[in-house]
Chains A and B, each alone.
Chain A
Amino acid sequence: MISLQRFGRSARRRPSNTMQRTVHSALWTGAIGCLVAIAIAVSASAGSYALWNGATNVTGGSMSAGSAAITINGSTTATLALGALGPGESTTTPLTIANTGSTPVSLAVTDTAIGTDAASLAVAPQLTATLTSVADPTRCQAGLTGGSTGTLTGFTTTSAPIVLAKDANATLCLQLSLATSAPSTMQGKSAAFTMSLTGTQVAP
């Protein structure tokens, strides 16, 4: 208050008492506002401020980290049994995806790798993969539409990802089709593949 008065005296014009009170009031209001803002910010931040200490013992308490985990047909590395194909034919197999983690996840096929043998490399470009969500495994039959479709080589999902709640299951139907125009040289061969499915934690 004293310094403010001195500051006021050094001004070229002597302010009136009314103006002086108004300035003082504004300054006090601003200062208090800043303090409140800082206090709120500090209380909302993730930082730790130990200006005041108080201690008490909590007995028997523990804290564990969450997790994201999925299985396909009960395993993280499932192996499929698929039927043989002729030109224009399709084979299907249901994939039961289980969210075994502690957080919701969205599902996506992020890559499909093809075997490096000559037969796999020859046949895979003639195969089309379709991955569609179905209500139950019995509905996983040839001719399904929707979902994501693409050549088996490098297949990834392009449709909206399926969000799987904690402890929930979903059934995806994988359909593989051999092109009607598959060359005659494709007879009696086989193509090995590995499809990578990733469950990504859904933002809270």
Chain B
Amino acid sequence: MIRHKLAIIVGLVIVLTFAGTTAGYAFWTAPAAVSGSVATKAIAVTETMPVSFGGTLSGTTAITGAITITNTGSVASAFATAATTASAAGDTKLATAITVAAWPTANPANCPTSSPSGTVTTGTWANFPPLTGTLAPASVASFCVRSSLASATGVSSDVVTPTITATLTAGTSWSASAQVSAKLTYTAPPPSVTWYQLKNVATQRCVTVSSSAARSSIVSTDCSNPATLGGQAFTLGRSGTTSIVTYLAQALSIAISSGGNGKPAITAATTSGSGQSWTVSTTGSYYTFTNVNSDRCLADDSTSAGSAVTVDNCWPNPSQQFTLEPIQ
């Protein structure tokens, strides 16, 4: 027992002795620092039109212009275009009818009028696919843009204004846009018109406009033979109640300035007013024109050439009947 206690005592002495004699360490540290400044770039774009893609369209002539997109910022960016088209007529008929082709070019000032080359993007001005790519800072992308009107069937005269907007994007939040636009004008050809001599059945003379000025007198004169396009040429302007348009001044038509029998006919600007609207009726091959305002009929009561054409109460008399003699 004693031996055991002594052994324990000896062990404790050894443990405690060495436990109190472990070495102490103080770690040194060495600081250093780096400083810097990180700048962020900026995104910016310009779009120009070295050659306008606008102009006047006809049935066969294409208009070729060009656009140039320039990355004027400091960050490489993706770009995409979007086209919108305004219409003076307020519809999409013309925009839909215009075929657009665009293709990349290194020489936007001189786009060929021949067939496009390279990758060609096609559509219409009502739906034009985006032109896409990437642009490093200070670099450009140019495209030739060609508009053509292959078929204008059913298309009325209109002026459309396509706008091509180029947008650069970097990351998910940076973007910049610029745009160009041009007007494309289309004038529909006039409908085919047949011009007639209005030949009075009673006098066998023709209704004649004395001059191209408004408020000119309308008289009865001998019919020219052969008929020519001049003071004796008229056409019916619209269906139903119609205007009787004179060839001599095609914005003018036959009008009655006031009611009453014997009032002379004159020329006046063609409008839908009742004084220059006429109801056309036929008896066989004879035509009668009833003025909507006065409810009287166009009449040639003259006894000699040069007398005024007037209006009178309507009655079935040859003086108020006319034949329409086409002018070839």
Q: Which residues of A contact B (CB under 8 A)?
A: 23, 26-27, 29-30, 33-34, 37-38, 40-41, 44-46, 66-73, 75-82, 84-89, 91, 93, 95, 97, 101, 103, 105, 115, 123, 127, 152, 174, 176, 178-184, 186-201, 203-204
Contacts and interface: CB of A to CB of B under 8 A. Distances in A.
Contacts of A190: 37-40
B33 A86 contact: no
Nearest to A204: B25
B6 interface: yes
Contacts of A194: 33-35
A85 to B, nearest CB: 6
B192 interface: no
Contacts of B36: 79-82, 93, 192-193, 195
Contacts of A199: 29-32
Contact of B30 (A34, A68, A79): A68
Nearest to B23: A46
18 contacts: A23-B2, A30-B9, A33-B10, A46-B24, A77-B34, A78-B34, A79-B35, A84-B41, A115-B37, A174-B34, A178-B40, A188-B42, A190-B38, A191-B38, A192-B37, A193-B38, A199-B31, A201-B27
Given A23-B2, A77-B35, A199-B30, A87 B75 contact: yes
B17 interface: yes
A72 B17 contact: no
B233 to A, nearest CB: 67
B38 A176 contact: yes
Contacts of B20: 41, 45
A114 B306 CA distance: 102
A67 B28 contact: yes
B119 interface: no
A201 B35 contact: no
Nearest to B3: A26
A203 B179 CA distance: 67
Given A27-B6, A85-B40, A203-B27, A182 B174 contact: yes
B303 to A, nearest CB: 88
Given A37-B17, A187-B43, A88 B171 contact: yes
B170 A87 contact: yes
Contacts of A23: 2
